[in-house]
Amino acid sequence: MNPTINDNAIFWIHQDEERSTTERGFLDNMLTTLEAKVFEEKRCHWERLHHLKRNVVPLILDMAHKALPFNEHYEDALRELVRELVPPFGLRRMILTRVIEADPWLVAGGPAPVSVGDVEDEEEPSAEFDIFSNLLGINGLFDWAMESALPGV
């Protein structure tokens, strides 16, 4: 058990020189105890983050990738899944933040909405092909595409 001021109240009746020495010793002990507690707190903090990163987040992501469809509403569904899995007090926000930061599906940009032009299926040929095939004809177009860009090669 660490000494407290009440446990060491005897130093109040000492003379000034003895009292100063006793107070300094008492303060040194308190500071040593405080440093040990700060170190322990930092160690626990890093252990907690390591456990979160190596165990909790990968397990939740594995569960999410198996259970949730990858669509426009994936992030909302992921948030709801974390709310269902994690108790509301203290841990939920921390875990949710780490899960969203670590999810490779979301880090890659998430699913593209169908209305975006670059993911829609094209049914007709592109305009460039039509222009060149009309100018050169289909055989001329293939000959042109196979030509070497450097003369004499």
pLDDT tens string 103-149: 998 888 766 555 555 555 556 655 555 665 666 666 676 677 777 66
CB atoms under 10 Å from CB of 108, counted, come to: 8
Handedness of CA 132, 134, 135, 139 (dihedral sign): positive
The pair of three-digit structure tokens given for residue 72, joined into one six-digit string: 């426009």
- What span, in angstroms and rounded, lies between the C-alpha atoms of 59 and 46? 19
Give yes or no for residue 100 having a pLDDT over 90. Answer: yes
Query: What is the reported pTM?
Result: 0.55
Sorted by sequence, the CB contacts under 8 Å of residue 82 that are 6+ apart come out as 60, 92, 95, 96, 99
C-alpha to C-alpha distances, 16 to 6, 28, 29, 30, 58, nearest whole angstrom: 19, 18, 20, 21, 61
Sorted by sequence, the CB contacts under 8 Å of residue 69 that are 6+ apart come out as 77
Which amino acid is located at 112 in the chain? A
C-alpha to C-alpha distances, 139 to 125, 143, 144, nearest whole angstrom: 17, 6, 9
- What span, in angstroms and rounded, lies between the C-alpha atoms of 135 and 10? 106
- What span, in angstroms and rounded, lies between the C-alpha atoms of 95 and 66? 19
Give yes or no for residue 50 having a pLDDT over 60. Answer: yes
Q: Which one is predicted more confidently, 41 or 2?
A: 41
* pLDDT band for position 70 (cuts 50, 70, 90): confident
What DSSP designation does 55 have?
A: I
Sorted by sequence, the CB contacts under 8 Å of residue 107 that are 6+ apart come out as 101
